[in-house]
Structure 1
């Protein structure tokens, strides 16, 4: 579904930043707690991966059983931004001796 990322950005813009003076400039950012709740409620996405990016930034991947996924970057101040989203997520587990 190519339209899913656009729909998610639209929902985030209205759900997270209603009344914010920066709503037009950063329509895909907001408090982490609200973003995580939105991903769970609207897309049934739960965390499947986490890692440190630049100092103080946390990158998380959320995915659903249906295959939708979202990448979220959280800043030290708790502000989180959707940086990518898509469909057809598939978990890959490295098996000892496997080339993957």
Structure 2
């Protein structure tokens, strides 16, 4: 089941006055600190991984113990956008000598 409610993320978009047109309302953007707080408060998601996507752009994955997850792209100016979300997240840990 994909995210049961994106209402809090919609509220973030309205709160930060970064509105997307209805045709492109697939991502929610705003200041990174607001998005991180929203993910922690509403979905109990914390960072579980990150990497450099393009110069200055950081891709982060947030996940909760109940399996919900969100991917966030942060730009050099601090603006962050939720680019994907879902359920059934599992951490994969590579043990030395054993393929994943």
- How does the TM-score come out when normalised to structure 1? 0.86
State the aligned residue count: 96
Q: Is the counterpart of residue 14 in structure 1 residue 24 in structure 2?
A: no
5+ long unaligned stretches in structure 2: none
Look up the SS of the partner of 2:71 in the other structure: strand
Q: Deviation above 6 Å: which 4+ runs of structure 1?
A: none
SS in 2 for 1:15: helix
Relative to 1, partners in 2 of residues 1:32 and 1:19: Cα closer, same or farther, differing over 3 Å? closer
Distance, in Å, in 2 between the alignment partners of 1:50 and 1:57 is 11
Q: Any unmatched runs of 5+ in structure 1?
A: none
Does the 8 Å contact 1:69/1:89 carry over to 2?
A: yes
Larger fraction in strand: 2
TM-score (norm 2): 0.86
| Cα offsets for 1:41-69 (capped at 9, x unmatched) | 00000000011001100000000010100
Distance in 2 (CA, whole Å) between partners of 1:67 and 1:79 is 26
- Please give the root-mean-square deviation of Cα atoms over the aligned residues, in Å: 1.7
- Say which SS state the counterpart of residue 15 (structure 2) adopts: coil
Moved more, 82-91 or 23-32: 23-32
Question: C-alpha distance in 1, partners of 2:12/2:51?
Answer: 26
Q: Does 1:23 align with 2:35?
A: no
Contact kept? 1:13, 1:23, Cα under 8 Å: no
